Amino acid sequence: MHIHILGICGTFMGGIAAIAQAAGHTVTGCDANVYPPMSTQLEAQGIRLIEGWDSAQLSLKPDVFVIGNVVTRGNALMEEILNRGLPYISGPQWLAENVLRGRWVLAVAGTHGKTTTTAMLAWMLEHAGLNPGFLIGGVPENFRVSARIGEDPFFVIEADEYDTAFFDKRSKFVHYSPRTAILNNLEFDHADIFADLGAIETQFHHLVRTIPANGLIVANGNEAALNRVVDRGCWTPLERFGCAAGWHAGAQSADGRFTITFKGIPQGEVQWDLLGEHNQMNALAAVAAARHAGVAPGVSIEALAAFENVKRRLERRGTVHGVTVYDDFAHHPTAIRTTLGGLRAKVGQLPRPARILAVLEPRSNTMKLGVMKDALAASLADADHTFCYGAGLGWDPTSALAPLAAKAEVHNDLSQLVAAIAAAARPGDHVVIMSNGGFGGIHDKLLTQLARTHVR
């Protein structure tokens, strides 16, 4: 089968491309405004990438067009596909029908932590010798690729609640029919497609309805929204994490050690370099899900010691003149607060000399709509100074960050933003750049600017 993927450079659709090629299909695709790591991953796999949406791509004559949710009505190529009555399908549905059918699917859902938890879970199964397939919304350092077909029966997938395609408004995860499902947490997000938290809870309930009675749901025991989802009906065994009655993590020591218990029974001690309580919660969920797939908790705990996290999750991009620059995917106030809180715990409490400079691009659809703007200042409390890129927003970030007073500044020009960060940086500082996009290559630009600048 020849498939042509529209929106191939998104992490999800790029993952489908890699899996389809490994399954023996011919794969081509198109996209616009591409950036690493997906563009480089596609190139390394020899998948032909076409820039833009020119309808001349119809001359490729694929068997089916696989449509990413970046594609909307009015897209030139999509309009011609519709006009000619050519076959098309969404990415999640193609994956479900051609890859997931008949496999033991382990799905990881939640507002935050999906990518990291999915990577942890896939690594646990790999460490146990099970060679799982996976599709992850980022590039795990342990695998160096975001997706692979793997061997039967296990397939681990990041289960996104965002809608499937312009012609299918169900959440992506309802296509996956998981046997094991993690419900990591649940907050309001994706304000461009959901009216309120209740609407997202309904989609999660639809997911719960698809999980068989011989499956397992692993749910965060501290989330009221998830409790409401489960209370609407649950036909599957349920294990909770984050609470003493289920899977529980002890306090993490300064050298990265903590114990895991299940129903009060010790399962082992983790030692790793990851920061924050949120990563402990991710680990608990992954250990529980792996146990359902037959991996003993002790083996999963061993795997955590060798877990190398995911690119763009507080990923250190470089250190110049004593200034360390990180790349992080955080774009929701909760994720921003969690990222900065974890780093603050590592570098010391204020007002110790190690400073955190937060650099934020409010790029997600929810952020652009301004739905979360009132929570933004509080989420940045652990930063010593905040720089915000304000270009293209429909609201005033200066006003939203006013509670931070002189600790925040807004720039609408990327070059000026880079110059301001470099001028403010001091040896020993930690600069955390947060965006769910490429942010104009700011990481390399800042490192170059720091190398040219006499840092105080």
277-292 helix and 333-347 helix, angle to the nearest 10 degrees: 110
8 Å CB contact between 95 and 19: yes
Q: What integer pLDDT is reported at residue 395 of this predicted model? A: 84
Q: What is the chain's mean pLDDT, rounded?
A: 90
Neighbours of 380 (CB within 10 A): 24
Query: What would the pLDDT profile of 407-430 be if each residue is shown by its tens digit?
Result: 999 999 999 999 999 999 999 999
Per-residue confidence band for 112, with pLDDT thresholds at 50, 70 and 90: confident
- Count of beta carbons in the 10 Å neighbourhood of residue 176: 26
pLDDT of residue 352: 59
Residue 207 pLDDT greater than 80, yes or no = yes
The confidence score (pLDDT) of residue 36 equals: 66
Determine the Cα–Cα distance for residues 10 and 90; give it in Å rounded to an integer: 14
Question: CA triplet 270, 265, 258: central angle to 5 degrees?
Answer: 20
Q: Residue 38 — very low, low, confident or very high, per pLDDT cuts 50/70/90? A: low
Helix (H, G, I), strand (E, B) or coil at 450: helix
What band does 351 get if pLDDT is binned at 50, 70 and 90? low
Give pLDDT, residue 220.
95
Distances (CA, A) of 45 to 79, 137, 145, 433: 29, 18, 10, 29
Q: Give the class (CATH, top level) of 2-91.
A: alpha beta
Using the CB atoms, write b or e for 137-157: b if 16+ within 10 Å. bbbbebbebbbbbbeeebbbb
Half-sphere exposure of 32 (CA within 13 A, CB side): 8
Closest CA to 52 of 93, 111, 8, 14: 8
DSSP label of 192: T
Does the domain made of 102-305 have the CATH classification 3.10.110.10? no
Token pair 């010391």 is found at 348
- For residues 398 and 179, the model is more confident at 179
Count Cα neighbours of 31 within 13 Å in the Cβ-side half-sphere.
26
pLDDT at 344: 86
pLDDT average, residue stretch 278-306: 95
Q: What value does the mean pLDDT take over residues 121-149?
A: 92
Place of tokens 């050519």: 86
CA distance 52 to 450: 34
Q: Is the pLDDT of residue 34 over 70?
A: no
Sort residue 451 into left (φ over 0), alpha (ψ -120 to 50) or beta: alpha
Q: Is 88 helix (H, G, I), strand (E, B) or coil?
A: strand
Q: What percentage of the chain has pLDDT greater than the value 70?
A: 97
User: What are the domain boundaries of the chain?
Assistant: 2-91, 102-305, 315-452
Mean pLDDT of 67-79: 95
User: Over the stretch 242-266, which tens digit does the pLDDT of each residue have?
Assistant: 998 899 999 888 788 899 999 999 9
> Residue 192: is its pLDDT beyond 80?
no
Residues 6+ apart with CB under 8 A from 227: none
Rounded mean pLDDT of 372-379?
A: 86
CATH topology for 315-452 is Protein-Tyrosine Phosphatase; Chain A (3.90.190)
Indicate the angle between helix axes 114-127 and 297-305, nearest 10 degrees: 110
**Which 3 state secondary structure label does DSSP give 166?**
coil
Same CATH topology for 2-91 and 102-305: the answer is no
What are the pLDDT digits (tens) for 84-99? 999 999 999 999 999 9
Strand order in the sheet with 48-51: 48-51, 26-31, 2-6, 64-67, 88-90
Does residue 35 have a pLDDT over 70? no
Alpha helix ranges (H) inside 266-321:
277-292, 297-305
For residue 107, report the phi and psi dihedrals to the nearest 5 degrees: -110, 140
| pLDDT, position 144 | 84
Q: Which tokens belong to 293?
A: 């797939």
Across 47-73, average pLDDT? 94
